[in-house]
Amino acid sequence: MPFHHEQVCVRRGPRSGLPLIVAVHSTALGQAIGGCRITSYPHWSDALDDALRLSAAMTDKCAVAGLPNGGGKTVVAVPPEGITDPAARRAILLDVADAIDALDGAYVTGPDVGTSPEDMAVLAERTPHVFCRPQQAGGSGDSSTHTAAGVVTALHAVCDAVFGLPQLGARRFAVLGLGRVGAHVARHLAAAGADLVVTDIDTTKRQLADELGAAWRDPDSALYAEVDILVPAALGDIFTPGTVSRLRCAAIAGPANNQLDEPDTADLLHQRGILWAPDFVVSAGGVIHATAIELHHETTEQATARVRGIGDTLARILRDAAQTRVTPAAAALTLARNRIPRAAPTV
Ligand code: PHE
């Protein structure tokens, strides 16, 4: 794999002793941005791989969203049992803050899988390069509702493209993952009157399914459920040649990052007649909202309108893809790459 990243910091956190990676993929459009993920991996090098792929996806996400930012990501690999001791958690966050601060503003972080606005406030004790602190601490707050709002506008665009009607109420969805973003999306779909299948690896989330009147399935059967639209809202790498051959949906659109194991899997989905709305288009609501409020000092209304723009952007990508007979992924990447000034050639 050619090395396209501008810089990657890999270190063992001096306080936590844990592997910590800050990957800056590109600053060609401006300061690199991307969340801080704290989760477990089979091996620390898997965390490095994840950081490399997630940061590259952020470059495309920002470019398609029209933001003056590049892509980056922070990943901390924690033990499988997680970190429950508050002092140990604080040690991780201070290690992260120091690593980010050492990049002198090349990269700014925000919340992601395993981190919250409160965690961002801890980072801000040691570095100014942090978005989404709680509102009372001067930040734009929880980004998950805005990411979810972006997903909902994308789902309207997908319904319009596939079924000729933007309404969500008449459709059947499977929401894969009821974390913060997935739960917001599921609530919205239930309120719209949609027929809903949901799943999560955490079975305590079944309570939300009951509350929403949604059918609870185990993760595998939800993935292969016969639905109009699959909404991947958990971790990535779920679509592989093996899983794609067994899908029974008409379209896929959700906030999980890096849903495809390999870029070519977009072609397999296309060949099966399944519309895949690129994850880096669908999931941009959080980063769009945070930059609108904290970087451009816009009002809540202006920021919300920008998030709603995701639906228009996706509609345009789906139109371009149909007209030029390419996958939506290819059309979205063309849009992204046309906005990114050419980087120096890699060897
Ligand atoms: N973690 C989200 C993303 O990667 C949202 C986010 C990141 C929000 C960085 C603000 C800043 O897209």
Q: What is the SS3 string spanning 187-234? A: HHHHHCCCEEEEECCCHHHHHHHHHHCCEECCHHHHHCCCEEEEEECC
What pLDDT does residue 341 have?
80
Give me the number of domains the chain comprises.
2
Pocket test for ligand 1, best of 31, 115, 181, 287 (most atoms within 8 A of CB): 287
Ligand 1: centre distance to CA 112 (Å): 6
Do 11 and 78 belong together in one domain? yes
Which contacts qualify for 42-47: CB closer than 8 Å, 24 or more apart?
44/19, 44/77, 46/77, 47/19, 47/21, 47/75, 47/76, 47/77
In a domain, 83, yes or no: yes
Which one of 25, 37, 73, 306 is the catalytic residue? 73
CATH code of the domain in which 23 resides: 3.40.50.10860
If pLDDT is split at 50, 70 and 90, which confidence band does 345 have? low
Ligand 1: centre distance to CA 258 (Å): 14
Residue nearest to atom 12 of ligand 1 (CA): 287
In a domain, 16, yes or no: yes
Residue nearest to atom 11 of ligand 1 (CA): 110
Ligand 1: centre distance to CA 175 (Å): 20
Query: Range of 262's domain?
Result: 144-284+314-333
Do 15 and 156 belong together in one domain? no
pTM of the model: 0.95
What pLDDT does residue 2 have?
80
Last residue of a domain, one of 137, 155, 184: 137
Do 73 and 173 belong together in one domain? no
Do 148 and 107 belong together in one domain? no
Q: How far apart are CA 283 and CA 329, in angstroms?
A: 14
Average pLDDT of the chain, as a whole number: 96
The secondary structure of 92-104 as a DSSP string is HHHHHHHHHHTTT
In a domain, 175, yes or no: yes
Q: Does residue 224 register a pLDDT over 70?
A: yes
Q: Contact 311/88 with Cβ under 8 angstroms?
A: no
Do 154 and 22 belong together in one domain? no
Q: Does residue 337 register a pLDDT over 70?
A: yes
Do 120 and 207 belong together in one domain? no
What pLDDT does residue 76 have?
98
Ligand 1: centre distance to CA 347 (Å): 30
**Structure confidence by residue, pLDDT tens digits, 98-151:** 999 999 999 999 999 999 999 999 999 999 999 999 999 999 999 999 999 999
Which residues sit with their C-beta closer than 6 Å to ligand 1? 33-35, 110-112, 131-132, 143, 283, 286-287, 290
In a domain, 24, yes or no: yes
**Structure confidence by residue, pLDDT tens digits, 99-112:** 999 999 999 999 99
**Structure confidence by residue, pLDDT tens digits, 154-176:** 999 999 999 999 999 999 999 99
Ligand 1: centre distance to CA 230 (Å): 22
Do 235 and 191 belong together in one domain? yes
Pocket test for ligand 1, best of 58, 133, 143 (most atoms within 8 A of CB): 143
Do 35 and 15 belong together in one domain? yes
If pLDDT is split at 50, 70 and 90, which confidence band does 1 have? low
In a domain, 295, yes or no: no
Amino acid type, 154:
A
Do 180 and 318 belong together in one domain? yes
Do 269 and 153 belong together in one domain? yes
What pLDDT does residue 236 have?
83
CATH code of the domain in which 180 resides: 3.40.50.720
**Structure confidence by residue, pLDDT tens digits, 29-81:** 999 999 999 999 999 999 999 999 999 999 999 999 999 999 999 999 999 99
Q: Does residue 343 register a pLDDT over 60?
A: no
Active site residue 73: yes
CA dist 97 → 76, 120, 122, 242 (Å)? 12, 9, 8, 40
Pocket test for ligand 1, best of 22, 33, 62 (most atoms within 8 A of CB): 33
Residue 25, SS3 per DSSP: coil
Beta-carbon count within 10 A of 345 CB: 6
Do 166 and 218 belong together in one domain? yes
